[in-house]
Structure 1
Amino acid sequence: MSTLPSEQTVSGAPAQPAEQGRAVEQPATLANGQARPPAVIEARGLCKRYGQHWAVRDLDLVIHEGEIFGLLGPNGAGKTTTILMLLGLTDPTTGTVRVLGHDPWREPLAVKASVGYLPENVGFYDDMTGRQNLMYTARLNGLPDAVAKERVQSLLEAVGLAHAADRPVRVYSRGMRQRLGLADVLVKSPRVVILDEPTLGIDPAGIREILDLIARLAREERVTILISSHLLHQVQQICHRVGIFVGGRLIAHGSVAELSQKLAGGAPLVVDVEVEPKEDARRARDLLAGLEGVSSVDADPKTGRLQVGCSRDVRAKIARTLLEHGVDLVGLGLHTYGLDDIYHRYFQGGDAGEQREPVAGARPA
């Protein structure tokens, strides 16, 4: 995949603080002393009601320049309605939203000029070629033909479609249409890109290329990217922060590392322990609970497994304590929480429409 055409290069990705539930006022500088990138998307008390149904409730969220933010949640959680309000395609019932300083509902043209949107189902003129479709978009956005041709060719190469650029879109596969859709979004060099399931239908090798392209947009061109997806491992790979929607509410947001720490009950580390016989799990719990550096111990006597929350790596101390007290240790290792663990923590029981108990330390918006 070729290098993305760019107008400016700025290295580094924004570090983001932990944020749970409602957005909080953030300091003007990051932990490394650098100035925080400006806010690009701001929602304050944002609500949307359809009849008696609240699709979005009390959304407070700030997304900064050059940040990749992932929206997660089941169907009907409020993700799509939030995107529609950001695009000015539906008006809020209450609250405010600003995109690049503009009100999307009152200033739709100003927002559309700088925001690119890739919906889940992309539409093109099927009898036109991929190149012709992109040239059409370029002309609609006022690009001179010479500039448009160069831009279109660069984008076709960037999304891996140069070989199929002059074929009619009707012969494109679903994955090829997604690639073309991403190129189409980027034609006007948007400052904000909103992507709904951007890798749908793309093969594994192509997914890696698309994710690399998205990451490069944020890193090198400072494009702010909002991704709505159910593919958690992909979101985890590239997003600086994620937000989890349940029942129209944003109930937690932060980096995966920060949410993982909250899931661990605030302990920086969790150690997985397995003992035999399984019934010794309770005894092991009592032995380990008093160790220095241990903040919590959860035991399951049915499996013989324990999870030990601790402020530092105390595996050696755990092993020594159990062996000294005659408990047979058969497994010991550091536990890490992925986005799958975090996501499913909110949807235990399988009823995606019902709000679940939030991660420790979080509070509903």
Structure 2
Amino acid sequence: MAETIIELVNLTKKYRSFTAVDHIHLTVEKGEIFGLLGPNGAGKSTTILMMLGLTEPNEGQAKVCGIDPTRHPIEVKRRVGYLPEDIGFYDDRTGLENLVYTAMLNRISEAEATQKANALLKRVGLENVDGKKTGKYSKGMRQRLGLADVLIKNPQVIILDEPTSGIDPQGVRAFLDLIIELRNEHGLTVLFSSHNLHQVEQVCDRVGIFVQGKICAMGTITDLSRQLFGDADHNLEDIYNSFFDEGGVHHE
């Protein structure tokens, strides 16, 4: 039996009369790269905030590594590495200094922190700029440093929220390759939230398609193609577009 790492049951978040996340069910297993795919405003980021214990659901429950983030947010944060779209660093410090600081906040000794930080900088391709202040980093460099920052506390789960926006195509390819390598080497579970169809198709084992706060379809691309079209010949773009008409309106 595969180990369930993320489990969302009837998860719902409302802001007055607006329902941002509408009774969703989702499980992600250990070592899986799961894609949350949907347009901006579909509810992906709100779902992530509930998984991290940063906002409380109105109904339902989230569990991450078997822990309820609403009741035990610190325990969840110890196990989860979160990379938002715009990650913040101390811009007057170098990449190495930022990583060492994060590690020490996570109760890692300075000597071990420095060793791990140097190894991770090499792993994400930033070993040649370890002395450069992060305020001078490009967007792609910041995201790679963000990945190292996430990894330095040895998480069981990585949550990536639109991690490739603003990165050039070559940088995106390198970043996505790195995600796959890390999963393969360390058995990490990855939740990849994006509105970029091609990137999700490249890296994700399964996808959940988010539309107006609901998960309208979930499975491998082959499974979804069979469910929607009766064959395995359709790609993620065909599947995704089947939920919208030309004006971008969801078909109920």
Q: Same fold (TM over 0.5)?
A: yes
Q: 1:74 aligns to what?
A: 39
CA distance in 1, matches of 2:17, 2:69: 24
Q: What is the number of equivalent residue pairs in this alignment?
A: 252
CA 1:348–1:184: 2 relative to 1, 3 Å:
same
Q: Does 1:261 align with 2:226?
A: yes
Q: 1:39 aligns to what?
A: 4
Q: Which amino acid aligns with 2:134?
A: V
Q: 2:250 aligns to what?
A: 355
CA distance in 2, matches of 1:242, 1:90: 24
Q: Counterpart of 1:156 in 2: which secondary structure?
A: helix
Q: Which amino acid aligns with 1:355?
A: H
Q: Which amino acid aligns with 2:63?
A: R
CA distance in 1, matches of 2:228, 2:130: 47
Q: Which amino acid aligns with 2:250?
A: Q
Q: 1:251 aligns to what?
A: 216
Q: Counterpart of 1:113 in 2: which secondary structure?
A: helix
Q: Which amino acid aligns with 1:174?
A: K
Q: 2:242 aligns to what?
A: 345
Kindly state the Cα deviation for residue 96 of structure 1 after the two structures are TM-superposed.
1.1
Structure whose residues are more often helix by fraction = 2
Deviations 1:196-250 (Å, cap 9, x if unpaired)?
1222233333322221221122222111100111221111111000000111100
Deviations 1:17-61 (Å, cap 9, x if unpaired)?
xxxxxxxxxxxxxxxxxxx32000111111111101111111111
Q: 2:27 aligns to what?
A: 62
Q: 2:107 aligns to what?
A: 142
Range moving further from structure 2, 337-346 or 58-67: 337-346
Kindly state the Cα deviation for residue 162 of structure 1 after the two structures are TM-superposed.
0.9
Q: 1:94 aligns to what?
A: 59
CA distance in 1, matches of 2:31, 2:97: 30
Q: Which amino acid aligns with 1:127?
A: D
Would the aligned equivalents of 2:12 and 2:21 in 1 still touch at CA under 8 Å?
yes
Q: 1:169 aligns to what?
A: 134
Kindly state the Cα deviation for residue 263 of structure 1 after the two structures are TM-superposed.
2.8
Once the two structures are superposed, the pairs formed by residues 292-331 of structure 1 within 5 Å of their partners are: none
Aligned equivalent of 1:152, options 100, 105, 117: 117
Deviations 1:74-127 (Å, cap 9, x if unpaired)?
121110110000000000101111111111011011000000100101111110
Q: Does 1:232 align with 2:205?
A: no
Kindly state the Cα deviation for residue 147 of structure 1 after the two structures are TM-superposed.
1.7
Would the aligned equivalents of 1:77 and 1:246 in 2 still touch at CA under 8 Å?
yes
Q: Specify every segment of 5 or more residues in structure 2 that has no aligned partner in the other structure, as ranges.
A: none
Q: Which amino acid aligns with 2:184?
A: R
Q: Which amino acid aligns with 1:267?
A: D
Q: 1:305 aligns to what?
A: none
Deviations 1:139-182 (Å, cap 9, x if unpaired)?
00111222211211111111111111111111111111111111
CA distance in 2, matches of 1:254, 1:92: 24
Q: Does 1:186 align with 2:145?
A: no
Q: 2:18 aligns to what?
A: 53
Q: 1:309 aligns to what?
A: none
Larger of the two Rg values belongs to structure: 1
Post-superposition, which runs of at least 4 consecutive aligned residues in structure 1 deviate over 3 A? none
CA distance in 2, matches of 1:74, 1:120: 15
Once the two structures are superposed, the pairs formed by residues 197-216 of structure 1 within 5 Å of their partners are: 197-216=162-181
Q: Specify every segment of 5 or more residues in structure 1 that has no aligned partner in the other structure, as ranges.
A: 1-35, 269-335, 358-365
Kindly state the Cα deviation for residue 194 of structure 1 after the two structures are TM-superposed.
0.3
Would the aligned equivalents of 1:40 and 1:62 in 2 still touch at CA under 8 Å?
yes
CA distance in 2, matches of 1:237, 1:355: 24
Normalising by the residue count of structure 2, what TM-score does the alignment of the two structures yield?
Answer: 0.96
CA distance in 2, matches of 1:151, 1:177: 18
Provide the alpha-carbon RMSD of the alignment. 1.3
Would the aligned equivalents of 1:178 and 1:200 in 2 still touch at CA under 8 Å?
no
